[in-house]
Amino acid sequence: MRKGSDRIFIPPMPLNELRAAFKDELENVLVSIKAKNKVVTRNVNKSKKKGGYNKQLTLTPRGLLHKETVYGQRKLYETFEVPVGTKLTPDVIDQVASKREREALFARLNEFGGDPKKAFTGKNSIDKNPIYLDSIHSSKIGAKVKCVRFKTVYSVRKPVDPNLSVDKVLDPKIRKILKDRIAEYGDARKAFTNLDENPIWLNKEKGIKIKTVTIAENFDLDAIRVKRDKDGREILDEQGNTIPADYVNLRNNHHVAIYETPSGNYEERVVSFYEALDRISSGYPAVDKTYNKDLGWKFVFSMKNNEMFVFPNEKDGFYPEEVDLKDPANYKNISKNLFRVQKLSSKYYVFRHHLETMLDDNKALQEVTWKRITALNKLKGVVKVRINHLGEIVDVGEYD
């Protein structure tokens, strides 16, 4: 009501009761967040023809299939040392760099029936029973042998700039030139700027400058194409298999599927957006609910960014599997334990409380405003739910 020029608010009930009523209503609010589930949009392309239109159904991806960079693959020699002992199996001896040492080790191994333990330990250890490399015993095998093997790396061209990781440069000559340049200027920022006026020379007499370099990356990548000749035919290797080419990082994960094994343990399967699209294009659902079914695995649920999960709370005696999650009378208890998926990677899942707006991983608030799950069995008792735009739980468990 109005009294003079002042506004006076008369509450419908005492203020302490009003605050309690507001608090009670707010505690029953469930926040609705749109989950990013869609993989493709089905579109119909139309083109004119005599007497009408041609219609073609196309599937348009709703996200990045892979990260932008495309890599090549190389095999490099890698050296390592192995102690002369039980690790010297035939496969390892095959990698010994020295032919003389390799033949001597095989001779000793064969002498004892191919058993490395008998051949290289105990009374036949290298210090008690040396392995000589010649008939006059002028040289012998040491405590360790040098081995060599191929290591697969993925290569990509990068410009020479302050962000370049010089240690990853594949060409040893160029790597040395770049390191000498950094040593000359003191740091990479000064060494690798203004290269047009102050170039880095590979061969100054011939005018060859270093502007881009090939670097190696060691993470796992996936091939999206195979090698083809100029006529588009697949190139096969000596065994008649196609040769992979154009490697990319598919780590744009679409979902993680959780399964229960016959022993009761939980296992995961991380599915990239690329694989989810491939399944849908082939007529299968994005989530494979029958994965390893022949081994007795049972599908539990899938997890995607922003999907909602109700966690059990032993302290409060709250177990979502024992509660009618669709009943609004239970929303107060559900709200305390309702979390959305914030980010996913293999055996590393971060959940954020549905009312939380700050992405702060404060250790003191872990299990209250956010959760980090690294052990799959900690997902036991967790229930997936879907909340509509009115804040109502409309689905419990896996939904399409």
Separation CA 120–CA 321 (nearest Å)? 58
Separation CA 267–CA 307 (nearest Å)? 19
Contacts with 300 (C-beta within 8 Å, 6 or more apart), sequence order:
258, 259, 260, 266, 379
Q: 90, 102 in Cβ contact below 8 A?
A: no
Per-residue pLDDT of the chain (400 residues; tens, 9 = 90+): 455 556 777 777 887 877 888 887 888 889 988 887 688 788 888 888 888 888 887 877 777 777 778 788 888 889 999 999 999 999 999 999 999 999 999 999 999 999 999 999 999 999 999 999 988 889 999 999 999 999 888 899 999 999 999 999 999 999 999 999 999 999 999 999 999 999 999 999 999 999 999 998 877 788 888 889 988 899 888 888 898 888 887 777 889 999 999 999 999 999 988 889 889 888 899 999 999 999 999 999 999 999 999 999 999 999 999 999 999 999 999 999 999 999 999 999 999 999 998 888 889 999 999 999 999 999 999 999 999 999 999 999 998 7
Residue type at position 377: N
Q: 224, 215 in Cβ contact below 8 A?
A: no
Separation CA 150–CA 138 (nearest Å)? 32
**pLDDT at residue number 1:** 46
Q: 256, 268 in Cβ contact below 8 A?
A: yes
Contacts with 389 (C-beta within 8 Å, 6 or more apart), sequence order:
32
Domain ranges across the chain: 28-37+56-66+251-400, 78-150, 160-217
**pLDDT at residue number 57:** 79
Hey, which bits of the chain come out as E strands? 2-3, 6-7, 40-49, 52-61, 70-83, 144-159, 201-203, 208-209, 212-217, 222-226, 244-248, 253-260, 266-272, 298-303, 308-310, 338-345, 348-353, 370-373, 383-387, 393-396
